[in-house]
Amino acid sequence: MTTTLITGANKGIGHETARQLIAAGHTVYVGARDAERGRRAAEQLGARFVLLDVTDDATVEAAAKTVEADGGLDVLINNAGIETRGEGNSVPTAETVTADQMRNTFETNVFGVVRVTHAFLPLLQRSAAPVVVNVSSGLASLTHLSDPDHPAHFYPGVAYPSSKAAVNMLTVQFAKAFPNMRINAVEPGFTKTDLNGNTGTQTVEQAARIIVHMAQTGPDGPTGGFFDINGPLPW
């Protein structure tokens, strides 16, 4: 039986990913920073709840101890993420973005990935088939955002795509450092969630497919890559 931890799993894509993995036979920990919402989600899903705020060392370390005491971990899904939105669901542009907005975004989307991965590495290294899935974004692709003919080119934000591009770099470097693990970044697609003010064009069920697929990657599967449901993406 495979044991999986998903950060930010009390709602949205993380919640749906948990549902699909439980249906596939995984034991799933719902990681959430809000205890009440996290417990409620875990009860609805038939999952285990663990208090985990990716921006807080103490809760991350405590979560690692809890999971270790329960038997260990095989799959880590770094799903928790934020995107700063302003009035009218606008995003800070190159003209308006501040260092504080950048720092706040990176604290969750980048430093949170490092914090959680670092804490759970010892458990993953004990697994027979360890997997890490970093939830990135198509907006992390420098190739696509610099191409005037690509749909992503229109996006004017700075903080969110920069943070996800950093997640892609973390993916590459961690994959090289731990060749016994399958460590990949994924693009769920433009999904209707609270993160984007529910402006997305696809469902959480559709978005979770690539995460679930990569979470079940075997020892001979790809590592150090960037994928959506159709295959590899350009960096």
In the annotation, is 164 catalytic?
A: yes
Residues 6+ apart with CB under 8 A from 80: 7, 8, 14, 31, 54, 108, 112
User: How many residues in the chain?
Assistant: 235
Place of tokens 């731990």: 178
Two tokens, residue 27 = 């034991």
| From 29, 65, 155, 164, the catalytic residue | 164
| From 65, 155, 160, 192, the catalytic residue | 160
In the annotation, is 192 catalytic?
A: no
What is the residue-wise DSSP string for the chain?
Answer: --EEEEET-SSHHHHHHHHHHHHTT-EEEEEESSHHHHHHHHHHHT-EEEE--TT-HHHHHHHHHHHHHTT--SEEEE--------GGG---BTTT--HHHHHHHHIIIIIHHHHHHHHHHHHHTTSSS-EEEEE--GGG-HHHHT-TTSGGGG--BSHHHHHHHHHHHHHHHHHHH-TTSEEEEE---SB-SGGGTS--SB-HHHHHHHHHHHHT--TTS--S-EEETTEE---
Catalytic residues: 160, 164
